[in-house]
Amino acid sequence: MRVLLMTNEFPPHIYGGAGVHVEYLSRELSKLTPVEVRSFHEQDFTQGQLKVLGTKLDASSYGCSKELISPLKALATCLAFNTQGIEADVVHCHTWYAQFGGILAKILHGIPLVVTVHSLEPLRPWKREQIGRGYDLSSWVEKTAIEMADAVVAVSKSTREDILRLFNVDPAKVPVIANGIDTDEYKETPDREVLAKYKIDPGKPYVLFVGRMTRQKGLLYLLQAISQLDAETQVVLCAGESDTPELQKELEGMVAALKANRPGIVWIPEMVTRQTTIALYSQAAVFCCPSIYEPFGIINLEAMACNTAVVGSKVGGIAEVVLDGETGFLIDAKISPTMPHDPMDPKGFSAAMAGAINRLTRDPELQKKMGASGRKRVLDNYSWRSIAEQTLAMYKTLPRG
């Protein structure tokens, strides 16, 4: 079976969980069957049964408003994917950016369309701040792709419920296939050089945040919790890529004010290497994932694989990955499941988050116990090999045009 994956992100051009998913899924799938990846970047290489072909378009001549450039460039790239010719038995799209390519492939080439849902546009209303009326376009593309797809893969049970609630889709076409983790790569490392590099005090515990500066990732609420953390607890913020310049300025201003009044806040404002991230996970007393919307949250698997306890929001896939009281603590953000936005009680959410972090930083034995439980849970349940096998088996059930 010849598989075609369409994606915006592919290594080394990765900025979110969807890109990580495609990277590892394509690697494992290609051990079982021929796989071609088409990405939005300048790439062209073959490794075994895996072929990667990128298409990077120049949008410098676009005369539209700035916020419309990204969505229109996505559609143009998807059109280019199809002009290059397609020889595949199934097309599998990741994120709305690539879904128009799958729509065209299904119509023009008569091959089954699979869409993996990493997030849903109706549940990300803040995207309008970033792409204006382009949000209406992305929502239309997503709805069209999901409702015409031969299979819609949900990365968690909660995501499946959202898909069935928001779209006209046959439940039989919506399997749950979770994200995974490479536990040979993501594992605790004794490398402490990262502490010196970023001036993190090795004698004091730190809570770690890894993610983009977006409303979805809830960094704002962790920043608001800092004043309630124990004085000796350090806060390491590995945060980059903001939705908008305005949001970036807002969050950077908050961090600057906190640093002026409290020692031990470390801001790493760029995407760091994977090995650096693993080292940061490994040395952390606790990893915090304060997202207000998270269909799955691969970062929690990454932290758990590195023997690190997690404090996370009780939303979406986080609540299915993190076992409350066993591999970490879940904080109820009291967010509407139909329209995620600000928590109903932002101060209460931040206070509860601070309390859970303090509980862990004060108890090294609890950190170790929860970290070990998290590692075991990842080993037992989230193998990429198993996920690739489930995905290939799903392909084989699809109708042929």
Please give the Cα distance from 250 to 201 (Å, whole number): 27
For residues 3 and 5, give the distance between their C-alpha atoms in angstroms, rounded to a whole number.
6
Kindly state the average pLDDT of the residues 270-288.
Answer: 94
| Phi and psi torsions of 167, nearest 5° | -130, 160
Summarize pLDDT for 112-156 with one digit per residue, the tens: 999 999 999 999 988 898 899 999 999 999 999 999 999 999 999
Residue 43: HSE in the Cβ half-sphere, 13 Å Cα cutoff: 21
Domains defined for the chain, CATH in brackets: 3-180+383-395 (3.40.50.2000), 193-381 (3.40.50.2000)
Q: Is 60 exposed, middle or buried (0-12, 13-18, 19+ CB in 10 A)?
A: exposed
Residue 64 has pLDDT above 70, yes or no: yes
Task: Evaluate if residue 270 carries a pLDDT over 90.
Answer: no
- The mean pLDDT of the chain is 94
**pLDDT at residue 60, rounded to an integer:** 94
Range 392-396 average pLDDT: 97
